[in-house]
Structure formats: C-alpha cells, structure tokens
Structure 1
Amino acid sequence: MHKIFLFICIVCFTQQAFAQIKPINTQVLVVGGTTGGTAAGIQSARSGAATIIVEQTHMLGGMLTAAAVSCTDGNDGLKSGIWQEFREALYLHYGTRNLASGWVSNTCFEPHVGDSIFKSWAAQEKNLQVIYGWYFNKAIVANNKITGAQFINAKGEKLTVRATIVIDATDLGDVFASAGAAFDLGMEDSAYSGESEARVKNDIIQDLTWAAVLKDYGPGANKTIPVPQVYDPTQYYCSTKDAPCNAKAYPLGTQQVLNYGKLTTTDTMHAKYMLNWPVHGNDYYLNVVAMKPIKREAEYLKARNQTLGFIYFLQTQLGFKNIGLAEDEVNNGIALMPYHREGRRVKGVVRLTINHIKTPFNYDLYKTGIAVGDYPVDHHHGKYNGIVPDIVFPQVPSFNIPLGALIPQTLDGLIVCDKGISVSNIANGTTRLQPVVLLTGQAAGIMAAECIQQKIQPRNIEVRKIQQALLDLNCYIMPYCDVDPTDPAWEAIQKTGAMGLLKGVGKSIDWENKTYFYPDSAVVGEEFSIGLHSNFDSVVFDKNLFNKQLTIDDAKDILLDNSHLLFNKIESSRPAPKPSLFFDARFWYEKLHLSNFDLNRTISRKELAVFLNYYQDYFKTYPLSLKGEMMTK
C-alpha cells in the first residue's frame, strides 16, 4: 500500500513539475527584460507590433535595475533616443538635471526608480505584455527559422511562446545558441579578428559582478550582516587606502571608494551606494555560459557570496557598520541577477571590430549605424585564476553600431540585441555598456516591427528606412557630439554624415570620447570632393577648388555640375530646383531657414548639409546593403 501511494505521489509530482501552460502566440517575442530587451519590447510595441517580453526576474531594465548597476557608463553628451528619454524621466523624478552624485558617472539613480520608469512605459503600450518569472529554456526552430521559445519557471512549469520575430535580449546569447546560430566566445587572435591588438584565442570571458545597493543608516546604527560562507578577508586587502595591504594600496579612502557609486536619492538623510568595485572588491570570474539559465542560479551563489564578503569586510574591518544593505532596493539590497560583461557573440551578417571603431571612415559600415557610444574599451580580468594575455586596448573615438551586427549570418526570424551582437572580443569592451545597449535595443524593436509590417526577414530590411525611423525618434545614427536634436540642422547633419558626403573628426578623450562634425566650420573643397566620389562614380569637380574654402557660389557651381547625380530623383513635394533659383536670398531664408545670404562668403558645413538634405531624400534614393554599399533600386 505504501509503495502504491509513493508511486502515485511521484507520478503527480512529475506531472506538476513538467506541467505545460497553454501556448501563447504573438508577433514579436523579446526574450529577456534586460536593458536591451526592455528597450526593444517597448519600442516594438510603440511601432505597432504585438509584443511580449518574457523576463526571469520581477524587474525591467536588466543591468540598469535588476543587476543594480545604476551608475551608467558613457554617452553623457549623446542625447539619443530612449537613452535620453530615460534620463529625462530621471530628471523629472529627482527634480534636478544633475545626477552626478557618484564620481564614476554623470547619471546615477536608484534601481527601483529605473524599474518604475520602464514599467510605467510598458503599461502605456496596449501592444505590449510583460511576463515575469520565466527562464529561457530552448528555442523553437523549423527550416532554419526560429519560430518561438520555450520557458521554464521555478515550479518546473513550461511555457511556449510562438512569434513571427524573436529578439534575443539575453545577456549571454542563450537564444541564438539554442537555435543553432554560429557564435564566438572568449578572446581571439589577430589572424581571426583582423585586429593587431588581439593576442590569443581562448575561452576567457570578462569577470562578472554581483552588485549590491548599500545604505547609510546613520551614526550609531549597526547593520553588520552575518559572516558569509567561505569568508576570506584577504581577498579584499588593498581595496581602499584604509584596508590592510601587502602590495600596492589603492590610493583612495573607503568613503571615497563608496562615493564612486553614490546614487541620487530624494532622501537627504540616508545616502545610497552602488557596490560595483573592481579593485579587490566584488568582481568575480565565473563562466556559466554553457549552462541552462535556470541552472546557473546555484553557481551564481559564489559571486553573490563574494559581494557579501566585501560588505562584511567594509563593516567589520574598515568600520562602516552603519552602512548596510538597502532594504528598499532590488532583493533587500542584493542584485537579482549578475552584471555580465561578456557572453556569446553571434556571428552576424557583419561584424564590428576595433578597426571599424578606431577608423570608421576607412570602411563603409558606419553608414549603416543604428546606435551610438563613446566609452573607451574596458575589460575586467582581475579575478581570472590563470594567465590573461596582455592586450593593449587602443584609444578610440565615439562610434556607431552597424545594423547588420544584430542579424545572424544564416538563421532567420531572429534579431539580437543586448551584449550578444556581432562584435569582436575587444570591441565588446565598449559596445556592452548600458546606454549603447539601450539604444541597440530600441533599434531592434523598430527592426522587428518593420519585419512584421513588411512581412520580411531581418536580413531583407532596408537600412535607410530603419535609420529614418530612428531619426524620427531623435536617435543618433552618427555619433556627432557637437550638434544635438534641438538644432534644426541635426537631422540634415546626421543624414549627410551617414552618406559620407561630409565626414566628422574623431578624438579619444579620456572616458568620454568624441566625434565632431564642426557644423560652423568652412567646407574645404577636397573633403567635399572625397565625399562625393565615395558615393558616385561620375562626379564633376573643379580641381582648382580642392584646397580652397568653398564659398556659397562655389557650392552652387559644384551642385549644378552634379545635379544629374544629386537631384535625379526629387521628392514630389519638392520640385526640381531651377538653376536661377538654386541659391537666391529668398530660397536661402524661407526654404532653408538659414541666415546671412552672401554668395561670396564661405559656406559652413551645416549650411551645405541643410541644402543637400532639403532637395534630396538620399535615404530613399540611394539604399544601402547591410555592409554599407550603395545599391540601386
């Protein structure tokens, strides 16, 4: 009798553990409410596609919220798209435009505030459903096309979501790997990557961090946590100037180290701090890429314990017992998920390497840009238990992400965002950061909705159509820091830059790199000639103008000489210009909204961009391939 009862119990448990929830159908499925996934899902819905985000935690925003890395890196001067929209919401919440409370970033905020912003946006979209508490389990693939995904929860229940387009927004590239797409993992040698900086091919990935949010509970408070398992205080030696150290001590004191990630808060009595400290702190080497997402949780306890040990060290060894885990943030102060810096990188239709970032105008990929970044290359390898090749990371200007890096080489039905896009190991050190990933996700959402509306595969997307949609949302496609969307000439400059008719100048500047358009500078004949020749074969250009700063009259002559190229397909709403009216005062003031008309003065780069953009929609007339090559319709 007992054996029969036991058998019945086992059968019942097995049925419950593998219970199937009724399948769901949607147009766009976003796997992961990560930084990129949240942006992708919200934008896909805004663009008209029925969209579902499936997220394993109870928060939206990934790195920015659930991983508690809420001091952002980079893009402070690039006021682009959903990244700037997010910052504007933070400014409104905190009642200030100064969020530089921590010295690591100009944008520091509380994770719960970021989560509330993303959730409020999601709630406004009738086309969007967010499902929490489900881990990705496996991709559903048929005839080399992904058609959905299966998820599993802590109870062992399974959920199937079928979709026309799937977006892989996982930190580690779980979806495209499960679907059979080719990918890269770890470091590369120069023969493979084409980068002189690359050294040795191996499977070493960057350290991850299980971040935490700390709170100052005031003088006299004792928030000391229980001693963590496997606690070794020597791991945290040299983490601050005040810590014991048998080597070179870190030069800043403990309070200064805490201020590294000090968060903006409306509570003036109790400071909060992001604990994401790489110097003998809470970085941790852990490679769980090959494991199923739900199975990783047990391994993550090691990284979580590393962080608890650091907190205990700060409290007991360094005397900060009044600073404890913030009970009103994430999981009682501990992140819900790790801050993964690196995972799989899909082999895409195109691949962004550090060569493209260093010298973008030597290649055509920059013409296909859909997101921008300005952070230097930054890898974390301090906790790897072995020898890490000594890679010298180059100085870089600001850069953009090519559209084709989001599309797998051969697999259909899938768009990749977050950290798994097609980049080299070295390039990943800058493309992985929060603002870039947020913007990449927004572009992925637009791409997914376009695929639904046009009934096409991602690889058949028109680059210029996606770029125009991004520009309509004030998203930068070129990383020009000296002209922002409030400038009436901004879109014209972005388009002229993406055509390569006038190129910018990139500069490496510490932790915030730049590319300048120099809108008020004069146009030099040679640079405009190079820009024209890079797009058209039969350009007419007077060599006497090569070394000259062009006047408005010079520009008029060049444009008239090449009108067969520049104005061969005029928008119906803007009839072809008559030569006599090409550059007259009325046209200059009333149509172009420019000032100081004088044929004999030099024409600025901004003015030339505005003129070119007024009479020609290059994005419709001259489509691009995913590799940045001009195509003819």
Structure 2
Amino acid sequence: MKRTGFLLAAVLVVTVAFALSAAAKTTRRVVDVLIIGGTTSGTTAAVAAARQGVTTLVVESTPMLGGMFTAQGVPAVDGNANLPSGLWNEFREALRAHYGGAPALATGWVSNTLFEPHVADSIFKAMAAAEPALSVEYGFRPVKVFRRGRKVSGARFVDKAGNRLEVSAEVTVDATDLGDALPLSGTPYRLGMDSRSLTGESLAPEKARNIVQDLTVTAILKDYGPGTDRTIPRPEGYDPAEFSGCNATAVGDPIPPEMVITYGRLPNGKYMINWPTKGNDIYLNVVELPYERREAALRPAREKTLRFIYYIQTELGYRNLGIADDEFDTPDGLAYLPYHREGRRAEGVVMLTFDDVMARYDRPAPLYRTGISVGDYPVDHHHKCRPDVPGIAFLPVPSFCVPAGVMIPARTDNLIVSDKAISVSNLINGSTRVQPVVMLTGQAAGTLAALAVKAGCTPREVPVRRLQAALLAQKAYLQPLYDVKPDDPDFGLLQRIASTGILRMTGEPYQWANRSWFYPERTVSVGEFTLGLHDYAPQIAVEDDPAPLTAASAADLLRRAGGRIAPSADTTPLTRREAARMVDEALHPFERDIDFEGNLK
C-alpha cells in the first residue's frame, strides 16, 4: 500500500505540474524603457521616463509601488527635509495634502515625515496612472536579462503561476532592491565590505569582507483602542531576554521604554516597528540566493519581528497595539519584503566614496560637477547583530550629490542602475541608500533612459550636462544647496554655477541634516573667486587676495578667462548671487561639457 500511495502521489504531482505548465502563458511586450522593480527608485524612474514621452513599463513583484516606503514598511523618511528636490518634493507635497499639512506628518521622533504605507502606495499609483506612456505589471520577478555583446535589450519575468512576461526595450533600468539584474545580465558588481586598498578610504577595513548590513522585516502596529487585547499567540522560541535592553538609542543612550514605540509613530494611531537596538534587526545575507530560496531563508527575520511584537505587547504593556489589518496582505501581517539596507553594487564608470563626499573639491576627479541627486543623511550602518564587525556610528558628512557615472555600468550598455545598486563604496552606501536619495537617483535614471531613447544612443553617450539640464527643468537639485530653494528665481542659475565649482559651496556636518551652503547674499573675495575660476580657466592664477570682488574686478578676470563681457568701473562689492550672474553671462560655463569624472572636455 505504501508503494501504491507513493506512485499515486508522484503521478498527482506530475499531473498538477503539467496542468500548471499547460495553463501558463507567455506575454510579450515592446517598450522604450523597461524598469525592473517598482521600488523607491523604480517608481520615480518610471514616472520620470514616461514624462519625457517614451513608452515605459515597470515590473514589480509585490502588489505595491514604492519599495522601502511601502512594500518594505519603512514609512519614516531619512533625510532631505531641507532639500525639496524633484519627485521627492512632489511626493512629500502629496502626503501633506492628504494628511492636512506638514505638522500632521511629524508624528514620531525619528523623522519629521511619517505616513502610512498604503497611503504612499496610493500616491505612487496615482502618479503612475496620470502618465499615459506608463504601464505597470505586478506579481512578476526577473529570471533573465536579454543581452547580446555589450547591449541589454530587455528581460524575462515569471509569476507564481508560471506565467512568463518577456519585454523588449531600448533601455533597461535595474531598480531592484538587491541589484538582481546585475548577475542576470552578466554585469560585474561588488558585494559586502570593500577593502581599503580598493576605495582608498581610511575608515574601510584593510581586507574586503563578505558582510552586508543587518536587515529588518518591519511591522506596522495599530492602536485598537483602550482596553482591547490584540496580543498575538506566543511565538515559538520566545524568550524576553532576547530584547532586554531595547530601550536605548542606536548609540547606546538609555531612553524611556515608550520611546521604542513613539520612535516610529505614524498618523492614525499606527506605529512602525523597525528598531535597531535589541529589536528586530537581524543578520541574514540572502543576496546571492535565488528567489525561490529567499522566502525560506528570510523566515527567521519574520519570526524575530513576531517575537519582538509579542515582547512589546507583554513586557512593555502595549496589548492594545496589534498588527495593522489594513496594510499588508501577508499571512503574518508583516511587510511584503524585508528592509534590505544593502545588496549588490555595480562596477560603474566611476565609484563614489566617502572621501569624495568629505572633500569634494580636493579629489583627483571632481565628481561633484556631475551631480544628479542629493542627500544629507549621515553614514548609517547597521551591524549590531554582528559583534565581529566594528561599529560605524553615524559618521557626519556635508550634504552631498550623487554623480551621474554611478548609474552607468563600466562594461554593459543600455542598462542603467539605480536604487542601492549604484556604483558606490560600501561605506558611503550608508548615506546614499536612504529613501529620498534613492528616489532622486531613480528620477535621474528614468530621465537618462528617456534621453538615450530619444537620441538613439546608449546611456553612456548622453552628455552629462544634457542630463543635468533635463533634471533642472524638473526642479531637481544637482547640488545640495541648503539655502537656495526651488522657488528662488535664481534656483537654476545657482545650481548651474555650483555645478561648475567656479563659486564653491561650504560644507557643514550638522546633526541629522548635514548642510552645504551657497551663501548667495554674502560677498566674495577676489582670492575665493580666482580659486574656482582657475579650475575652469587655468590661465587665471589663484590669488591670495582678501579684497571684496567687485563688478570691475570680476569683469576683468572673466575677460582674461575668455569670457565675453564689457569692462566695468563699478567698485561696489558683489554678492555671490551677482557674481554667479556675471559668470553665467560671460562664460556660459555650464554649456561646456564634462566627462563622467567631472573633467572639462
């Protein structure tokens, strides 16, 4: 009987598999731009590309658009509060309109912009639906990237039922959370900690290590009212000692237990549970696992979050807080996907390092000139679950820009990289990985893809200044000017001049919102002006002259630099804003193209 039962079961399995295979279908699509992943950057890449008038398809494995903000359950914004750039600003304004103003979003203490994941999802979907050239496919994951020679030409996807989606595209964007299109396309990448000899960063380890940051499966809890008891069943293996001491900040300062909850308080009585200190962070490196094995490998992360929820309900006394029933349609009610803080990083035509951010004007390659997105968050690495890894405690940086070349693989054409898979060092990934930076990098990726399609060239052949000009037209920042907002009548002008380095920014590491000042209303000295002008026109010697720059002295220097400008007798000191106008009118320096390293052509 056992043998007969085994044979019957085997026949049934084969029959069911055959039936599923027979029922599966293949759909083929042809578009200008394919976005692999409706993540935080994938969504903005898709919207940006479609707004440029090219047909765009974004393929996402979950039912939500927005990645970290939505499907991964991290609706608390890290950084860029004072850099209202491009689609990040558009998204934030939509949140403010939904909830009734900026104060309504300042509900927790980890951020001044917090919201419910399903609201963000609805905003992203509305933005996508408003673009006639944009379509979205949900429930599919990539299994193959089509490549011939150096050129990528689309990808194949499958869903859980075995249905296939095959997409041909002029340009493909890898916007996956872990850089999954990189190995599928044969594009070289790095994973884990970079060695000091590779990046030149003194803070990098001496030897490379295959270690990524801790990840988190987040939960959204909901207040079901006083007197209610929403305690979940006691999870298997629960021990309250696992979370003892959770009432401390990431740097170890003690805090009242209630701050563990109010940290991520969202509107409408909800709470984000994404707590690093003795909370639900966990070390799991699943990056190289195939999709079909990841779910099982990530099970310990989901179980740890359930144990932490039970601890919050029983030990901290919040029995009225239960798993929200209106956010994620998952069996356990937790986020669809884990919050991965890092994955693969492409080998790009350039690599941004921590030192490039800290000393932007004193580097061999002036990468800042090629900026396409901006950020201001400190270097944030989560390694508390790996005591063998030295801690990296929120290294302060000046606000920074992400250079264009990090999106371009060195040896693959017609593939653009966004999200966390851009070509940066492991160290500075702690700043470039946060949501607003990723959103803006996605906007640049989508814009670049569209420009390449319309020009009939590869993305690497699109001039950097053409990409930057297109982003400026979208009110996106190229440089992180803290004191020049998009409503400034000279916003575009000052962004352009700052991107040439003729008038330099002053960086300032500052708490959680690092800054770079342009100081448009300050005067500028002759010496400071010659310092920046020398890089553009080497015939101008750098002078140590503290005298204020005047229209007369500026006109003389600009004429010697090759500019077309009439002499002036005006000896009134110029503000930096006025000097920028003179530079722009005399030299049009932004019109002079640069390479991906920022060198003048």
Counterpart of 1:146 in structure 2: which amino acid? Answer: V
1:121 to 114, 124, 127: 127
The answer to whether the 8 Å contact 1:540/1:558 transfers is no
Deviations 1:473-529 (A, max 9, x none): 111101110111111111111111101110011011111100111111111111111
1:609 to 573, 577, 580: 580
Q: Which residue of 2 aligns with 1:290?
A: 288
1:51 to 45, 56, 63: 56
The answer to whether the 8 Å contact 1:239/1:249 transfers is no
Counterpart of 1:256 in structure 2: which amino acid? Answer: M
Q: Secondary structure at the match of 1:225?
A: coil
Mapped pair 1:279 → 2:277: yes
Q: CA deviation at 1:365?
A: 0.4
d(CA) in 2 for partners of 1:9 and 1:238? 49
Mapped pair 1:38 → 2:43: yes
Deviations 1:352-406 (A, max 9, x none): 000101111113100000000000001001113x511355764310000000000
Give 4+ residue runs of structure 1 displaced > 6 Å after superposition.
1-6
- Structure 2: give runs of 5+ residues left out of the alignment: none
Q: CA deviation at 1:228?
A: 2.1
The answer to whether the 8 Å contact 1:135/1:294 transfers is no
The answer to whether the 8 Å contact 1:75/1:435 transfers is yes
Greater Cα offset, 605-614 or 341-350: 605-614
Counterpart of 1:10 in structure 2: which amino acid? Answer: V
Q: CA deviation at 1:240?
A: 2.2
Q: Could you say if the C-alpha distance between residues 5 and 532 of structure 1 is closer, same or farther in structure 2, counting changes exceeding 3 Å?
A: closer
Deviations 1:257-276 (A, max 9, x none): 211011134xxxxx111111
Q: Secondary structure at the match of 1:566?
A: coil
d(CA) in 2 for partners of 1:91 and 1:230? 42
d(CA) in 1 for partners of 2:51 and 2:422? 23
Mapped pair 1:222 → 2:229: yes
d(CA) in 2 for partners of 1:13 and 1:272? 43
Q: Which residue of 2 aligns with 1:179?
A: 185
Length, aligned pairs only? 588
Deviations 1:250-309 (A, max 9, x none): 6222322211011134xxxxx111111001111111111111234312222211111111
Q: Which residue of 1 aligns with 2:349?
A: 349
The answer to whether the 8 Å contact 2:380/2:395 transfers is no
Counterpart of 1:128 in structure 2: which amino acid? Answer: L
Q: Which residue of 2 aligns with 1:133?
A: 139
Q: Secondary structure at the match of 2:126?
A: helix
Q: How does 1:500-511 map to 2 (within 5 A)?
A: 500-511=501-512
The answer to whether the 8 Å contact 1:468/1:619 transfers is no
Counterpart of 1:626 in structure 2: which amino acid? Answer: F
Q: CA deviation at 1:216?
A: 1.1
d(CA) in 1 for partners of 2:223 and 2:394? 37
Q: CA deviation at 1:6?
A: 6.9
Q: Which residue of 1 aligns with 2:521?
A: 520
Greater Cα offset, 448-457 or 527-536: 527-536
d(CA) in 2 for partners of 1:432 and 1:9? 43
- Structure 1: give runs of 5+ residues left out of the alignment: 242-247, 266-270, 568-576, 585-598
Deviations 1:444-487 (A, max 9, x none): 00000011001111111100001011111111101110111111
CA RMSD of aligned residues (A): 2.2
Q: Which residue of 1 aligns with 2:486?
A: 485
Q: CA deviation at 1:20?
A: 4.1
1:313 to 292, 307, 311: 311
Q: How does 1:617-632 map to 2 (within 5 A)?
A: 617-620=588-591, 622-631=592-601
Q: Which residue of 2 aligns with 1:380?
A: 382
Q: Could you say if the C-alpha distance between residues 290 and 445 of structure 1 is closer, same or farther in structure 2, counting changes exceeding 3 Å?
A: same
Q: Secondary structure at the match of 1:415?
A: strand
d(CA) in 2 for partners of 1:282 and 1:5? 40
Q: How does 1:140-179 map to 2 (within 5 A)?
A: 140-179=146-185
Q: Secondary structure at the match of 2:26?
A: coil
d(CA) in 2 for partners of 1:353 and 1:26? 35
Q: Could you say if the C-alpha distance between residues 412 and 291 of structure 1 is closer, same or farther in structure 2, counting changes exceeding 3 Å?
A: same
d(CA) in 1 for partners of 2:164 and 2:558? 63
Mapped pair 1:560 → 2:563: no
- TM-score for both structures, normalised by structure 1: 0.89
Q: Which residue of 2 aligns with 1:587?
A: none
Mapped pair 1:14 → 2:18: yes
Q: Which residue of 2 aligns with 1:206?
A: 213
Q: Which residue of 1 aligns with 2:368?
A: 366
Deviations 1:148-170 (A, max 9, x none): 11112112222211211110001
Mapped pair 1:251 → 2:254: yes
d(CA) in 2 for partners of 1:529 and 1:88? 40
The answer to whether the 8 Å contact 1:353/1:427 transfers is yes
Counterpart of 1:295 in structure 2: which amino acid? Answer: R
Q: Which residue of 2 aligns with 1:550?
A: 549
Counterpart of 1:366 in structure 2: which amino acid? Answer: Y
The answer to whether the 8 Å contact 2:384/2:391 transfers is no
d(CA) in 2 for partners of 1:145 and 1:11? 40
d(CA) in 1 for partners of 2:571 and 2:224? 68
d(CA) in 1 for partners of 2:541 and 2:314? 75
Counterpart of 1:425 in structure 2: which amino acid? Answer: N
d(CA) in 2 for partners of 1:139 and 1:482? 43
d(CA) in 2 for partners of 1:408 and 1:318? 49
Counterpart of 2:178 in structure 1: which amino acid? Answer: L
Q: CA deviation at 1:7?
A: 5.3
Q: Which residue of 2 aligns with 1:323?
A: 321
Greater Cα offset, 447-456 or 484-493: 484-493
Q: Which residue of 2 aligns with 1:335?
A: 335
d(CA) in 1 for partners of 2:96 and 2:563? 43
d(CA) in 2 for partners of 1:170 and 1:497? 32
The answer to whether the 8 Å contact 2:36/2:174 transfers is yes
Mapped pair 1:261 → 2:258: no
Q: Secondary structure at the match of 1:362?
A: coil
d(CA) in 2 for partners of 1:583 and 1:214? 66
Q: CA deviation at 1:137?
A: 1.5
d(CA) in 1 for partners of 2:595 and 2:514? 28
d(CA) in 2 for partners of 1:159 and 1:368? 36
The answer to whether the 8 Å contact 1:507/1:514 transfers is yes
The answer to whether the 8 Å contact 1:552/1:602 transfers is yes
Counterpart of 2:593 in structure 1: which amino acid? Answer: P
Q: How does 1:359-508 map to 2 (within 5 A)?
A: 359-363=359-363, 364-384=366-386, 387-391=388-392, 394-508=395-509
Q: CA deviation at 1:16?
A: 2.4
Q: CA deviation at 1:615?
A: 5.0
The answer to whether the 8 Å contact 1:197/1:392 transfers is no
- TM-score for both structures, normalised by structure 2: 0.94
Q: Could you say if the C-alpha distance between residues 50 and 547 of structure 1 is closer, same or farther in structure 2, counting changes exceeding 3 Å?
A: same
d(CA) in 1 for partners of 2:435 and 2:252? 30
Q: Secondary structure at the match of 2:102?
A: coil
Q: Secondary structure at the match of 1:502?
A: coil
Q: CA deviation at 1:9?
A: 7.0
Q: CA deviation at 1:231?
A: 2.4
Q: Secondary structure at the match of 2:554?
A: helix
Counterpart of 1:40 in structure 2: which amino acid? Answer: A
Q: Secondary structure at the match of 1:534?
A: helix
The answer to whether the 8 Å contact 1:28/1:51 transfers is yes
d(CA) in 1 for partners of 2:535 and 2:182? 36
Q: Could you say if the C-alpha distance between residues 393 and 516 of structure 1 is closer, same or farther in structure 2, counting changes exceeding 3 Å?
A: same
